[in-house]
């Protein structure tokens, strides 16, 4: 086969793989076929590297939130603004990762935890009575359980069950 024609075919297959026009396995097979086994590169692409970095950044929002809320003397309205900003960034991360099965769970879990932290801190600031706090936390855990059941994300179901057990234990011990 003509070398220029083979290079054109290889570039076209790489284009298909990059734009997901064919499954990766098919593209890898075709690249191996046309390059004699040398065309499949297992290196991490630039998009995967950015995805990994962004997922790690999102996962740091929870510990940063704990540090800011419980260990700093920052004014409360700035704390709430920071948590709101982190929740919005996590929602953005969910939409960025919604097609990637590996990373989508990080923003989902971070959104759930930050929303719980935010609501507990807000209820604490507004000095609501204890029954309302339990009702709101119960509502959030039911939402987690429902979303986990619908999407088959079992970590949300387990988190909801553990949170409900801790909530009931807290009610009994009071």
17-72, pLDDT tens digit by residue?
888 888 888 888 888 888 877 665 654 556 677 778 888 888 899 999 989 888 88
Q: Do residues 69 and 145 both lie within one domain?
A: yes
| 7 within domain boundaries | yes
User: Domain containing 18: what range?
Assistant: 3-35
Q: Do residues 25 and 102 both lie within one domain?
A: no
Q: Do residues 71 and 111 both lie within one domain?
A: yes
Q: Do residues 28 and 54 both lie within one domain?
A: no
Q: Do residues 22 and 105 both lie within one domain?
A: no
pTM above 0.75, yes or no: no
Q: Do residues 166 and 90 both lie within one domain?
A: yes
CA 119 from centroid of its chain's CA atoms: 20
| 156 within domain boundaries | yes
Q: Do residues 84 and 167 both lie within one domain?
A: yes
Q: Write out pLDDT tens, residues 101-145.
A: 778 889 999 999 999 999 988 888 887 777 888 899 999 999 999
Q: Into how many domains does the chain fold?
A: 2
| 60 within domain boundaries | yes
């Amino acid at each position: 086969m003509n070398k220029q024609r083979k290079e054109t075919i290889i570039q076209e297959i790489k284009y298909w793989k990059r734009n997901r026009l064919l499954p990766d396995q098919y593209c890898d097979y075709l690249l191996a076929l046309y390059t004699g086994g040398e065309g499949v590169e297992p290196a991490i692409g630039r998009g995967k590297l950015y995805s990994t970095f962004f997922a790690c950044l999102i996962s740091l929002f929870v510990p940063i939130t704990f540090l800011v809320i419980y260990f700093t003397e920052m004014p409360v309205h700035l704390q709430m603004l920071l948590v709101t900003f982190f929740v919005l960034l996590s929602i953005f991360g969910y939409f960025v990762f919604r097609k990637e099965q590996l990373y989508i769970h990080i923003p989902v879990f971070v959104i759930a935890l930050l929303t719980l932290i935010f609501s507990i801190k807000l209820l604490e600031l507004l000095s609501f009575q204890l029954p309302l706090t339990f009702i709101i936390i119960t509502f959030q855990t039911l939402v987690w359980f429902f979303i986990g059941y619908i999407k088959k994300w079992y970590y949300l179901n387990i988190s909801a069950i553990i949170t409900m057990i801790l909530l009931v234990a807290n009610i009994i011990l009071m």
